[in-house]
Amino acid sequence: MTRLFVFGLGYTARAIVAASGAPALGTTRDGRDGTIRFDDADAVRAGMATATHVLSSVPPDESGADPVLARYRELLGGCWLGYLSSTGVYGDTRGAWVDETAPVGGGRRAARTGADAAWLAIGARVLRLPGIYGPGRSPLNRLRAGTAHRVDLPGQVFSRVHVADIARGVIAGFAAPAGAYNLADDLPAGQDEVLAYAAALIGLPPPPVVPLDTLGPAARGFYAENRRVANGKAKRVLGWAPLYPDYRVGLRAVSAMTSPIPASTPPPIASVDQR
């Protein structure tokens, strides 16, 4: 029986747990919602004692170190290992397609590249993810909140993936060999194109165009990279294909849903002091 232990029970990881249907425990920084506090080593050790599958969605810290590997590496032996990484490890390719054989480490995600390599070195399935969207977290939400904007950069594209397709890819990875896998939809597209479609979908005007130099450093860094992410390996090896192969299908599905990913998690795998 699959028993999951998840480091970092955030938006995406909760969707994975819900889709798996497996008994699960996991951590958050503060132990909210019945989770284990990440720095409670005794509770983490007890929670992992019967886990068969361990998944981490915890990003590197400010120093570039992976917090899970730094603190709990000795507990990871004998389990299926998964790590949610980023397609940002590929850096800027000037709009060219990249697959898992492409060089990594040339972009703004140097710390993520190091963590990605460290998890690969211990036999994990490393799922490299582009822009994530889904119920409660999508361009539709930003448009309704009035926080969306366009940046007129013709030719700038990026890939994205619906959170439900990430969940399906991770679950498919339970029976797959270790290695890196890109989970992305089939249609990279520009941010302005996606926002214009999303606005029309919910009957709002397209958001304003703002100059690039008015944005913060993180946003400027995002727009400085331009790539298309290929998903062929995941299709071949995992037997995975996106239910939402492009943003139009995905956003129509999101707009039809009224509730976000549930905050609760399935019953725990053991009786653990979750303090």
Distance CA 229, CA 206 (A): 26
- Judge whether 47 lies within some domain: yes
Distance CA 34, CA 19 (A): 19
Band of pLDDT at residue 107, cut at 50, 70 and 90: confident
What percent of the chain has a predicted confidence (pLDDT) above 70? 93
Domain that holds residue 208: 4-256
- Judge whether 264 lies within some domain: no
**Which residue do the tokens 């998944």 mark?**
55
What percent of the chain has a predicted confidence (pLDDT) above 90? 84
pLDDT at 204: 96
CATH code at position 231: 3.40.50.720
pLDDT at 1: 86
Please state the rounded mean pLDDT for residues 35-44: 97
* Integer Rg of the chain from CA: 19
pTM: 0.93
- Judge whether 172 lies within some domain: yes
Q: Is the pLDDT of residue 150 over 80?
A: yes
- Judge whether 224 lies within some domain: yes
Band of pLDDT at residue 273, cut at 50, 70 and 90: very low
> Of all residues in the chain, what percent are helix, strand and coil, respectively (each to 5)?
40, 15, 45
- Judge whether 236 lies within some domain: yes
87, 7, 217, 261 alpha-carbon torsion, rounded to 10°: 80
Q: Is the pLDDT of residue 275 over 70?
A: no
- Domains of the chain: total: 1
Residue-averaged pLDDT of the chain: 92
Residue 180 bridge partners (DSSP): 126
Q: What is the pLDDT of residues 226-255, one digit of tens each?
A: 999 999 999 999 999 999 999 999 999 999
Band of pLDDT at residue 258, cut at 50, 70 and 90: low
pLDDT at 87: 96
Least confident of 48-57, 101-110, 140-149, 174-183: 101-110
